[in-house]
Amino acid sequence: MLVLRTVLLFVLAALAEIGGAWLVWQGIREHRGVTFVCGGLMSLCVYGFVATLQEEAAFGRVLAAYGGVFVASSLAWGVVADGYRPDRYDIAGALVCLAGVGLIMFAPHR
């Protein structure tokens, strides 16, 4: 159950952070307006809150592991939202990052 909760919180955090950054990007770079920027900023605040819900007490460990989730999720977001097509090196890199997430979060630490 702990693994499922951890994974679900990482997915929620990724949606909030990447979605928020994408909305800010759309608002500024694609000239879609202040509504997109404000929505993005609110979503980024949600991301900051979601990270605190992880069971792991070490901030650095949670954020380091989330970095790997962020890499893989960013590529997936690009596929869905922007039609980006990752190549085999993108996919291999994302898998390496996700393996790192597993080690950081679930290996038996001291």
Query: For the segment 56-87, what is each residue's pLDDT rounded down to a tens digit?
Result: 989 999 999 999 999 999 999 999 998 999 99
Structure-block tokens of residue 96: 């390496």
For the entire predicted model, the pTM comes to 0.87
Least confident of 27-31, 33-37, 51-55: 51-55
Closest to 7 (Cα-Cα) out of 45, 59, 74, 56: 56
Burial of 18 (0-12, 13-18, 19+ CB in 10 A): buried
